[in-house]
Amino acid sequence: MPLEVGIVGLPNSGKTTLFTTLTGAAGQVSGKEHVGIAPIEDDRLARVAQVVGSAKVTPATIRVVDVPGTGAQLLGNLRQVDALLVVLDDWSGTRNPEEDLAMLELELLVADRDHVAKRLERVEKQAKSGDPSLKTEVAELERILAHIDGERPLRDYGGLPPELEPLTTKPLVEIRNGPGAIDLKLEAELAELPAEEADQFRDGPSALSDVVARLFEGLDLVTFFTAGDTETRAWTLRRGQNALEAAESIHTDIARGFIRCEVIRWDDLVTSGSHAEAARRGLMRLEGKTYAVDDGDVINVRFSPPR
Ligand SMILES: Nc1nc2c(ncn2[C@@H]2O[C@H](COP(=O)(O)OP(=O)(O)OP(=O)(O)O)[C@@H](O)[C@H]2O)c(=O)[nH]1
Ligand SMILES: [Mg+2]
């Protein structure tokens, strides 16, 4: 499953402009939800592909959701995303980004309050049947509601029921939209130019690579690669996820038939010039299902195909 992020922000802060910058997809219609795919740029990918002679190069991707405006109903569409990008207007000169961030965090908390209160109402009704486990859930939900009423985000609440899917536990990545930070207006204009030309107009990295770098930091992500003659591809995992989970993200059959995996660091593969030469130099390791995948690993899963 690709990484999924939601874009939130006050009206007119530049959410849809960010969406367009990240995905390259047209999303100009205001008042509509937009969903698109952003490729994750990674310089290592082309270098690995060149060494193994892949015909096809496929970057890892992020699914991006842009919801118009705020309000509990709209924000509720973001319960399944992995992180929230908060767009703050730092361009019009009419807003205070710190205050806007605080306001937005409050909106997220209000949306969570709504969500928890609705659930409480439903479970309270069902608990009249006398089922003790439902009574426990009612008590738990009441405690959660009291926590929210103290204006505290649910990320500070220990032991939340996993099915609750709150918004205020998600990592927030701040995107200040303005000439001093990520200039989305400029980025939107540069999106029309070829990549090399666009780079000449920027002082630093592109908005896309800047946002991706912050997401990787905020979510503690790692990239691993698969590399063969037909395709070299990048994938993302959370740090600490293991080889079996890496296999699952590639294909469930590969995970099911997992025997072991061969791991080479991407730069060892590049300097060796081929998988075979890397193996000859002793730079290829054999790992099992529980191996924690490291950033930059090139992985080849040995598996028995399902019958
Ligand atoms: N000058 C300038 N204008 C911007 C910038 N970012 C966005 N805008 C303009 O602000 C307006 C709103 O931008 P959108 O990206 O549609 O904002 P939004 O947050 O999606 O707005 P809603 O979905 O209606 O809440 C557009 O006319 C943009 O061109 C910027 O960095 N600089
Ligand atoms: Mg919009």
Which CATH number characterizes residue 261's domain? 3.10.20.30
Residue 230 lies in a domain: no
Closest to 260 in 3D by CA, of 282, 284, 280, 239: 284
For the chain, what percent of residues have pLDDT higher than 70? Answer: 98
Q: Which residue puts its alpha carbon closest to atom 11 of ligand 1?
A: 12
Which of ligand 1's atoms lies nearest the C-alpha of 17?
Answer: 15
pLDDT in tens, 81-138: 999 999 999 999 999 999 999 999 999 999 999 999 999 999 999 998 888 889 999 9
- How far is it between the farthest Cα atoms of the chain? 69
C-alpha triplet 104, 206, 225: angle, nearest 5°: 100
Neighbours of 184 (CB within 10 A): 25
Residues 299 and 263 in one domain: yes
Q: How many whole angstroms separate alpha carbon 91 and alpha carbon 89?
A: 6
Residues 73 and 206 in one domain: yes
Residues 82 and 116 in one domain: no
C-beta 54 within 6 A of ligand 1 = no
What is the per-residue pLDDT for 1? 67
Residue 51 lies in a domain: no
Q: Which residue puts its alpha carbon closest to atom 29 of ligand 1?
A: 185
Residues 82 and 180 in one domain: yes
Residues 82 and 124 in one domain: no
Residues 86 and 7 in one domain: yes
Q: How many whole angstroms separate alpha carbon 148 and alpha carbon 153?
A: 6
Residues 157 and 192 in one domain: no
Classified as helix, coil or strand, 185 is helix
Q: Identify the CATH number of the domain in which residue 130 sits.
A: 1.10.150.300
Residues 245 and 296 in one domain: yes
To which residue do tokens 């990320």 refer? 155
Q: Identify the CATH number of the domain in which residue 210 sits.
A: 3.40.50.300
C-beta 20 within 6 A of ligand 1 = no
Domain that holds residue 288: 240-303
Residues 179 and 88 in one domain: yes
Residue 203 lies in a domain: yes
Residues 293 and 152 in one domain: no
C-beta 185 within 6 A of ligand 1 = yes
Classified as helix, coil or strand, 81 is coil
The domain total for the chain is 3
Please answer whether residues 137 and 131 qualify as being in contact, where contact means their C-beta atoms are separated by less than 8 angstroms.
no
> Which one of the ligands is nearest to 34 CA?
2
Residue 223 lies in a domain: no
Q: Is the dihedral of CA 117, 165, 61, 266 positive or negative?
A: positive
Residue 229 lies in a domain: no
For the chain, give the mean pLDDT.
91
- Mean pLDDT over 209-232 rounds to 92
pLDDT in tens, 182-193: 888 888 788 778
C-beta 39 within 6 A of ligand 1 = no
pLDDT surpasses 70 at 27: no
**Which of 8, 16, 88, 89 maximizes ligand 1 atoms within 8 Å of its Cβ, making it the mutation to test the pocket?**
16
Provide the Cα torsion 260, 264, 266, 269; round to 10°.
-130
C-beta 15 within 6 A of ligand 1 = yes
Residues 290 and 192 in one domain: no
Closest to 23 in 3D by CA, of 56, 68, 65, 84: 65
Residues 155 and 255 in one domain: no
